[in-house]
Amino acid sequence: MSELALAPSRPRGMALVLIGASLWGISGTVAQYLFQQQGFSPGWLVVIRLIISGLILLSLAKGFEKNNIWGIWKNMQDIISLILFSFLGMLAVQYTYFAAIESSNAATATVLQYLAPAMISCFIAIRAKRLPSVKETIAVALALVGTFLLVTQGNVSSLSISGWALFWGIASAVALAFYTLQPHKLLAKWGSTIVVGWGMLIGGISFSFIHPPWEFQGTWNLSSYLSVTFIVIFGTLIAFYCYLESLKYISASETSVLASVEPLSAAILSVLWLHVTFGVEEWVGTLCIISTIIILALVKQNPKEKL
């Protein structure tokens, strides 16, 4: 009876994750527009995005969800974990991703960031002191082939993207892996809204000492205002809400598979809107990396290896 009751909610969960992931991909392309056509800096956009989104999330946690947002600061272990997550997870993944976009384009940056699942799989295998399974090995091999095609266009003698673009793209994947692995205890104890909200606010405020929000460079016009608003509201808050809400209706593995629409949406929009050149090799590389997400989502995790 319970299965029949949940069935109508399944399409809702699938729609939510597709909306959230698509908004993430689109916001990356919008960020590319701000960097490359309006002269915005990644540092400034990261500070604004994190501070505003963090304040709104914590306000929602306290006002709408009636949660105690200050309780996380009463335990030293939680404080240390939160600070590590804020700097090495939240801030790192935001800045490296935007820096990769500025150095290349949203499509390449987003696809490279999605090497994170393969990195996580390797980390879990090493920590468990076991060899990767056949599926994990295939996924890692596809990730490597995809990366090779994406950054060289199949030509071993040269890179098709800059060295900085490759550096920031790989750094973004490492940061995303840390972002995914590190805060699991905090999330279980305090919930995602409080943890992510504080992570954003701490990361944004601390980074404002390096990139003060009042030291702005770029061009303000109607399209700039709309783009920044889209990134903060739709590309951060609504995307985050849709992704988490989807977990109420479908499994985490299904969510991971459907979330692979993010790099695909970023690639398609970059080509159609910003006229980024994406050849056959780049498309094949993109599909290889997206395939790793699907394969790894189908790997059954050993209960002893849970994060």
CA triplet 105, 200, 51: central angle to 5 degrees?
90
Secondary structure of 181-205 as H, E, C letters = HCCHHHHHHHCHHHHHHHHHHHHHH
What is the reported pTM?
A: 0.85
pLDDT of amino acid 4: 39
Note whether residue 204 is domain-resident.
Answer: yes
Q: Which of 234, 164, 172, 248 is nearest to 21 (CA)?
A: 234
Examine residue 15 and state whether it is found in any structural domain, yes or no.
no
Domain assignment present for 16: no
Residue 3 lies in a domain: no
The pLDDT score that the predictor gives to residue 253 is: 62
Q: Which pLDDT value is given to residue 161? A: 82
Number of structural domains, the chain?
1
Regions in the chain scoring below 50 on pLDDT: 1-7
Determine, yes or no, domain membership for 57: yes
Determine the pLDDT at residue 3. 41
Q: What's the distance, CA 224 to chain centroid?
A: 23
Is residue 1 in a domain?
Answer: no
Asked whether residue 92 is domain-assigned, the answer is yes
Q: Which tens digits make up the pLDDT trace of 69-126?
A: 999 999 999 999 999 999 999 999 999 999 999 998 888 898 898 888 888 888 888 8
Distances (CA, A) of 196 to 97, 148, 169, 223, 241: 17, 33, 22, 28, 11
User: How high is the pLDDT of residue 252?
Assistant: 63
pLDDT of residue 302: 59
- Which amino acid does the sequence have at 90? M
Residue 197 confidence (pLDDT): 92
**What is the phi/psi pair of residue 217, to 5°?**
-130, 140
The answer to whether residue 306 sits within a structural domain is no
| Domain interval for residue 186 | 23-301
